[in-house]
Amino acid sequence: MSSIDTIIRTAPAESCTPELAQGPWTFDLGTPGYGPGASMGDVIPTGSPRQGQLPGEYQRASNDELHERIRAAKATLGERVVVLGHFYQRDEVVQHADFLGDSFQLANAAQTVPNAEAIVFCGVHFMAETADILARDDQAVILPNLAAGCSMADMADIDSVEECWEQLTALYGTEPDAQGRVPVIPVTYMNSSAALKGFCGRNGGIVCTSSNAATVLEWAFERGQRVLFFPDQHLGRNTAKAMGVPLERMPMWNPNKPLGGSTPDDLADARVILWHGFCSVHKRFSVDQIARARAEFPGVRVIVHPECPMPVVDAADEAGSTDYIRKAVAAATEPTTFAIGTEVNMVNRLAAEFPQHTIFCLDPVVCPCSTMYRIHPGYLAWVLERLVAGEVINRITVSPEVAADARIALERMLAARPTV
Ligand code: 13P
Ligand code: SF4
């Protein structure tokens, strides 16, 4: 077996523990945790949603039985239900999705299903909250496993952001400059709670995704002297750097330190203030892995997600959202070797879908996004069968006050065309 075969064939087997893949319900009770996977070392905020015990019949059912039950429930519900799936979901779940996409596309998809009474979101908590904000009041958004959070989104909470804002307001004041630009525009990555999207909506800010971050930063620079970007420092840094913002004008904000750990001088000169957040899955990719891939496969095309650290994005050939990565592979006309730096479920699916290419994940022992992995067909069958019985379970609701503010920031984003 060549080493590329080794990389491709050993990736799923080495993806952390089989319990997460086969029985995520073992993590629903007992010690709270994201479950084994790349986010297992992250701190889970108190008060995070917990998933109660999945009924035993779904835990014991074989995969074939679960697929049959999901198909039957969907057929009974017809247009009353729509199932949305993020690219990082496992194949067993993706096969039941009516829409598959990145977080920007799924936010749009949630708005295009007027007949659906229920939107079952096979993604993570912040995505389901976003769908609820954009959906009609009489549409129920359901997250099949309430423990499917996002460790990066959990790295910025509303209290810490409000506290940061108070300190920045004390430092910069509130007066616009001669061009009418306010001192700071808050920009939150889609991977954040509804409360933070609401914060942006009521403070002149906006939401971005990895597919429109540059467009959104341009929007913000037209209106503000500087940007407070949360929670992902890497997406903020990579995007602003590509737009020509020097690194010394991007101080970090660590919420546990006064003035975020920066000096007033650093902050006075700042163009983008970066929150101290990151994705544990994308943090694993390294320049060494890229160097090894290039040494072993001359001509390899390296594409990474912009949540990767800056040196990794700099060493790659291209960086872009999950949809960008998919389109880049689909558009390659000649057989190509691709080394990809993003979640392994998506990379393995691309490898299966485009056999004319050689496609592998940059990290041969990558752990999947453990929070996305909390959704197993057992939970999907459970929520759909309860819907057939007339019961809505695992509904995600954002309070009307928060939703009204968050919708303003999201609608600004939806008007910003994806650039990558
Ligand atoms: P996309 O916006 O590219 O779908 O990514 C979402 C995400 O969570 C990546 O880690
Ligand atoms: Fe969150 Fe990272 Fe998982 Fe994306 S891959 S949902 S940022 S933990």
13-25 mean pLDDT: 70
Kindly indicate the confidence band of residue 6, based on its pLDDT and cuts at 50, 70 and 90: very low
d(CA 417, CA 394) in angstroms, rounded, equals: 32
Is residue 321 in contact with ligand 2, taking CB distance under 6 Å? no
Q: Which atom of ligand 1 is nearest to the CA of 369?
A: 10
Residue identified by tokens 């209290």 is 159
Kindly indicate the confidence band of residue 418, based on its pLDDT and cuts at 50, 70 and 90: low
Mutate to test the pocket of ligand 1, among 130, 190, 303, 318 (most ligand atoms within 8 A of CB): 190
Q: How much is the pLDDT for 223?
A: 96
Report the share of the chain in percent with pLDDT over 90.
77
Kindly indicate the confidence band of residue 13, based on its pLDDT and cuts at 50, 70 and 90: very low
d(CA 371, CA 151) in angstroms, rounded, equals: 8
* Residue ID of nearest Cα to ligand 2 atom 1: 150
pLDDT exceeds cutoff 70 at 111: yes
Is residue 281 in contact with ligand 2, taking CB distance under 6 Å? yes
Q: How much is the pLDDT for 76?
A: 98
Q: What is the mean pLDDT of the chain?
A: 91
Ligand 2 centre to CA of 371 (Å) is: 7
d(CA 79, CA 70) in angstroms, rounded, equals: 14
Q: How much is the pLDDT for 4?
A: 36
d(CA 211, CA 95) in angstroms, rounded, equals: 24
Q: How much is the pLDDT for 298?
A: 97
Report the share of the chain in percent with pLDDT over 70.
94
Question: Taking phi first (over 0 means left), then psi (-120 to 50 degrees means alpha), and beta for anything else, what does residue 173 get?
Answer: left
Q: How much is the pLDDT for 2?
A: 35
Q: What are phi and psi of 309, to 5 degrees?
A: -60, 155
383-400 mean pLDDT: 97
Q: What is the pLDDT of residues 117-149, one digit of tens each?
A: 999 999 999 999 999 999 989 999 999 999 999
Ligand 1 centre to CA of 210 (Å) is: 7
Q: What is the pLDDT of residues 172-202, one digit of tens each?
A: 999 999 999 999 999 999 999 999 999 999 9
pLDDT exceeds cutoff 50 at 254: yes
217-223 mean pLDDT: 96
Give the least confident one: 34-38, 212-216, 270-274, 404-408: 34-38
Q: Give 11 or 333, the one with higher predicted confidence.
A: 333
d(CA 208, CA 409) in angstroms, rounded, equals: 9
Q: How much is the pLDDT for 260?
A: 97
Q: Which atom of ligand 2 is nearest to the CA of 371?
A: 3
Q: What is the pLDDT of residues 357-374, one digit of tens each?
A: 999 999 977 778 888 989
Kindly indicate the confidence band of residue 32, based on its pLDDT and cuts at 50, 70 and 90: low
pTM across the whole model:
0.92
CA dist 113 to 120, 225, 323, Å?
A: 12, 39, 21
Give the least confident one: 50-59, 251-260, 359-368: 359-368
Give the least confident one: 95-99, 229-233, 263-267: 263-267
pLDDT exceeds cutoff 70 at 15: no
d(CA 408, CA 199) in angstroms, rounded, equals: 10
Kindly indicate the confidence band of residue 66, based on its pLDDT and cuts at 50, 70 and 90: very high
Nearest ligand to the CA of 103 is: 1
* Residue ID of nearest Cα to ligand 2 atom 7: 279
Q: How much is the pLDDT for 23?
A: 86
pLDDT exceeds cutoff 90 at 349: yes
Any idea of the CA torsion for 353, 357, 358, 359, to the nearest 10 degrees? -50
Q: Which atom of ligand 1 is nearest to the CA of 321?
A: 3
Ligand 1 centre to CA of 322 (Å) is: 6
Ligand 2 centre to CA of 368 (Å) is: 9
pLDDT exceeds cutoff 50 at 11: no
Mutate to test the pocket of ligand 2, among 130, 145, 151 (most ligand atoms within 8 A of CB): 151
281-294 mean pLDDT: 96
Q: What is the pLDDT of residues 265-283, one digit of tens each?
A: 999 999 999 999 999 999 9
Q: What is the pLDDT of residues 312-348, one digit of tens each?
A: 999 999 999 999 999 999 999 999 999 999 999 899 9
Q: How much is the pLDDT for 417?
A: 64
As for ligand 1, residues whose beta carbon falls within 6 Å of it are 102-103, 191, 209-210, 279, 307, 321-322
Q: How much is the pLDDT for 107?
A: 81
Question: If we measure between CA atoms, which residue out of 274, 270, 272, 253 comes closest to residue 262?
Answer: 253
